[in-house]
């Protein structure tokens, strides 16, 4: 049935709400890695996005803040950003939306009721409930094989969960080889500080074993704005000689998240990273010279977004995904998503949550649906005006592709849907 333009925004919102999404990049953990998972009001309030904002509205020094207990930190952030100021920023509003989703008060002077609620939840049931509230069928994790807390859990055999897909994260290996090669050496790999042929092949063996253990849906690395490829340092050599061949052999994509300026203010710890414009010729080189590899790509700089779309038009082995970190604000998501729809049709993955705290998926996906509905509706409106009728089935098929099918196909996790 043909659709009238006036009802398009409502229709898009209905379908966005009805179709369960796959969250293609998070920092959440499946129940069997439960000790690593963050959830509840104290974690929500001490998310590093909010910590950065605390220091703008309160005189406390970072050094003093880090000495407080988690509970004291959360109380301070609540008082400063939610009681003494209206919580209008994106990350503040997110906490409000989560409290509201559970019927908790959003304007109390203290956190007593919220704390009582979260501490009464049974973790496994709470995870299922949160994913359902967020409209997600599955989430993709970030799993670090060199993390001293995480690695032993995998080595002992962590029980897989159909709603959580593992990802082999390579930051320590690719970005800080000098600090980490000895961990591999201590686990019996014949590696050195220098990337000799033997070191590269031992890293390859390490990746093969972790692929077997973890069955990752892709490998991933975050990269600085200064990322170049090819290059002669450890990162360039390990990428070329170990990571790219391993991805090919295991038939999995490599996710490149490019554009971080690490620790411009180390006093803020996790909140101390910034953004820089990258030279995407490195991506061009990878796409041209490694046609058998597939690359999921997110770029942090707003200035790199258009180039990424142009490269995606040239190379089918590039899949742009998400509006990452400092870009995940409605005004910027709108701009980037419109640009992508205009340049790539529906052949990209519009968003991921990057959630670090379980309940964040509720607000992040609610925001995405709210921001995307009018953008999609507008695309259909101009299409109708230009002479092509649009049906509800068209809208369903597009949303299914954007928020599920593109990832399933590109990551090779299911037959094409």
Which residues bind to ligand RAT, rule: CB under 6 A?
A: 27, 142, 222, 257, 270, 325, 354, 356
* In the complex, least distance from residue 221 CB atom to Zn ion, rounded to whole angstroms: 11
Please give the Cα distance from 381 to 394 (Å, whole number).
13
Please give the Cα distance from 266 to 13 (Å, whole number).
41
Please give the Cα distance from 376 to 367 (Å, whole number).
14
Query: Residues 308-347 vs Zn ion: string with x where CB under 5 A?
Result: ----------------------------------------
Of 138 and 354, which has the nearer Cβ to Zn ion?
Answer: 354
User: Which residues inside 65-104 make contact with Zn ion, applying CB under 5 A?
Assistant: none
* In the complex, least distance from residue 325 CB atom to ligand RAT, rounded to whole angstroms: 4
**Which tokens sit at 260?**
């971080």
Please give the Cα distance from 328 to 364 (Å, whole number).
9
Question: Is 299 in a helix, a strand, or coil?
Answer: strand
Name which position in 15, 161, 225, 354 contacts Zn ion (CB under 5 A). 354
Dihedral over Cα of 308, 313, 319, 323: its sign: positive
Of 102 and 325, which has the nearer Cβ to ligand RAT?
Answer: 325
Q: Is the peptide bond before 230 cis (omega within 30 degrees of 0)?
A: yes
Of 22 and 395, which has the nearer Cβ to ligand RAT?
Answer: 22
How many H helices and E strands in the chain? 20, 9
Nearest position to Zn ion, beta carbon: 354
* In the complex, least distance from residue 76 CB atom to ligand RAT, rounded to whole angstroms: 21
Of 256 and 280, which has the nearer Cβ to ligand RAT?
Answer: 256
Of 171 and 192, which has the nearer Cβ to ligand RAT?
Answer: 171
Of 265 and 417, which has the nearer Cβ to ligand RAT?
Answer: 265
Name the binder of 235 from ligand RAT, Zn ion, none, CB < 5-8 A by kind: none
Question: Is residue 23 at the binding interface for Zn ion, with CB under 5 A as the rule?
Answer: no
Q: Are strands 253-261 and 21-23 parallel, antiparallel or unpaired?
A: unpaired
DSSP assignment string, 147-198 = -TTHHHHHHT-PPPBTTEE--EE-HHHHH-HHHHHHHHHHTT----SS--HH
Nearest position to ligand RAT, beta carbon: 222
Which residue in 218, 215, 241, 220 sits closest to 175, CA to CA? 220
* In the complex, least distance from residue 26 CB atom to ligand RAT, rounded to whole angstroms: 9
Residues that bind Zn ion (CB under 5 A): 354
């Amino acid at each position: 049935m043909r659709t009238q333009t006036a009802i398009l925004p409502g229709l898009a919102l209905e379908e966005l709400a009805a179709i369960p999404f796959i969250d293609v990049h998070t920092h959440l953990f499946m129940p069997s890695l439960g000790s690593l998972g963050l959830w509840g009001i104290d974690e929500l309030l001490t998310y590093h996005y909010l910590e950065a904002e605390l220091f703008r509205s309160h005189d406390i020094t970072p050094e003093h803040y880090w000495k407080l207990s988690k509970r004291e930190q959360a109380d301070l952030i609540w008082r400063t950003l939610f009681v003494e100021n209206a919580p209008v920023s994106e990350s503040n509003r997110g906490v409000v939306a989560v409290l509201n989703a559970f019927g908790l008060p959003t304007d109390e002077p203290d956190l007593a009721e919220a704390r009582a609620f979260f501490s009464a939840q049974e973790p496994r049931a709470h995870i299922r409930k949160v994913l359902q509230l967020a409209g997600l069928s599955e989430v993709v994790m970030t799993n670090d094989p060199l993390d001293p807390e995480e690695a032993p859990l995998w080595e002992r055999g962590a029980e897989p969960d159909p709603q959580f897909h593992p990802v082999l994260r390579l930051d320590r290996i690719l970005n800080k080889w000098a600090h980490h090669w000895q961990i591999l050496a201590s686990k019996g790999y014949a590696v050195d500080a220098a990337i000799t042929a033997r070191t590269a092949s031992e890293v390859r063996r390490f990746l093969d074993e972790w692929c077997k253990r973890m069955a990752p849906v892709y490998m991933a690395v975050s990269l600085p704005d200064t990322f170049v490829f090819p290059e002669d340092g450890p990162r360039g050599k390990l990428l070329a000689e170990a990571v790219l061949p391993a991805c090919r052999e295991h038939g999995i994509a490599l996710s490149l998240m490019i554009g971080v300026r690490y620790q411009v203010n180390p006093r803020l710890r996790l909140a101390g990273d910034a953004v820089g414009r990258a030279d995407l010729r490195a991506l061009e080189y990878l796409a041209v010279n490694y046609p058998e590899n597939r690359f999921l790509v997110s770029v942090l700089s707003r200035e790199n977004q258009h180039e990424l779309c142009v490269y995606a038009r040239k190379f089918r082995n590039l899949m742009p995904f998400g509006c990452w970190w400092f870009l995940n604000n409605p005004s910027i998501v709108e701009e980037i998503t419109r640009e992508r729809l205009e340049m790539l049709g529906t052949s990209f993955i519009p968003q991921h949550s990057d959630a670090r705290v379980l309940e964040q998926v509720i607000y992040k996906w609610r925001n995405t649906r709210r921001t995307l509905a009018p953008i999609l509706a507008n695309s259909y409106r101009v299409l109708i005006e230009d002479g092509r009728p649009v049906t509800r089935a068209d809208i369903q098929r597009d949303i299914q592709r954007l928020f599920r099918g593109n990832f399933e196909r590109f990551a090779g996790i299911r037959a094409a849907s």
